Amino acid sequence: MAAQTEVARYESRTPGPDGRIAYSGVEDSTWSHLYQRQMALMPSRACDAYLRGHEILDLPTDRVPQLTEVNARLSERTGWQVAPVAALIGFQCFFELLASRRFPAATFIRRPEDMDYLPEPDIFHEIFGHCPLLTDPVFADFAHRYGQLGARATRAERVLLARIFWFTVEFGLIRQTPGDDGLRIYGAGILSSPGETVFSVEDPVVERADFDPDMMLRTPYRIDIFQSVYFVIESFAQLYEVMDERLMPRIRVAIALGDQPPKFPPKDASQALC
């Protein structure tokens, strides 16, 4: 999801009449490098549902996947599709797509000089990070309900709904079994980042808080650093159960109460945080 004021540094690629995009050899090599690097980190860190989703999608390892082939597997499993979009889109388009069980994905892939980080979500982040969990029925239904709520929300409510997305879909952790040994990643922003994949579950001092939607709604974040706090769910059912109309009054309470103090120093004292 993109802030309205950001300026895209990349432009999405337009599929041809057959729905396919002609990626270059450099772009295919970039995908292959990113894929192999991240998959080496997945055992004992990524959650089981994510790993099962990878098996279902059977993504290519040596080239950028085509949306048509990803969609064939997603549609069969949970009725979801991936929709090609511009590099940055606004809230209205984002929520309407999710409400129709279509996940927006920019179709460009990062340049070699941006291999380790770029602020805009590229196709590696969208397909490798997000799509495997869309094969899980409970998670897929949660994402659908989230889109339905957002499509009906006001602009102010959407800003706080974006925080729910950030701390779950993008940077969420799940406890598969009791204790720290059972901590796993399901957030796509972590799973597509080599540094944060290790940091989020292994750093001894990072804050890992129990799932708390009210706290999420009032917690600011930054996009350009490792997260200062991660929220931990016990199951995807927790996400699904909170994502209904009962959440909207809680959002209005959070707006009235205002934000919690940031848990990190601001990048610039004059710059508003997300």
Q: What is the pLDDT of residue 8?
A: 64
Instruction: Tell me if residue 14 falls in helix, strand or coil.
Output: coil
Q: How far is CA 142 from CA 24, 82, 116, in A?
A: 36, 16, 30
Q: Which listed residue (12, 27, 130, 144) is catalytic? A: 130
33 assigned to active site: no
Q: What is the C-alpha separation between 145 and 153, in angstroms, rounded?
A: 12
Secondary-structure class of domain 26-257 per CATH: mainly alpha
Q: Two tokens at 183?
A: 């901590």
**Residue type at position 71:** N
192 assigned to active site: yes
- Give the residue extent of every domain in the chain: 26-257
Nearest to 37 by CA among 127, 105, 128: 128
Residues 6+ apart with CB under 8 A from 265: none
Q: What is the 3-state secondary structure (H, E, C) of 203-240?
A: CCCCEEEECCHHHHHCCCCCCCCCCCEEEEECCHHHHH
Q: What is the pLDDT of residue 269?
A: 42
Q: Which listed residue (27, 120, 157, 170) is catalytic? A: 170
Q: What is the pLDDT of residue 14?
A: 86
Q: Two tokens at 24?
A: 């270059």
Q: What is the mean pLDDT of each run of 10 residues along the chain (274 residues)?
A: 54 87 97 97 96 97 97 97 88 96 96 88 96 98 98 96 97 88 95 96 94 97 93 97 96 97 71 40
202 assigned to active site: no
Q: Which listed residue (12, 192, 193, 200) is catalytic? A: 192
6 assigned to active site: no
Q: Could you tell me the pTM of the whole model?
A: 0.92
CB 23 within 8 A of CB 63: yes
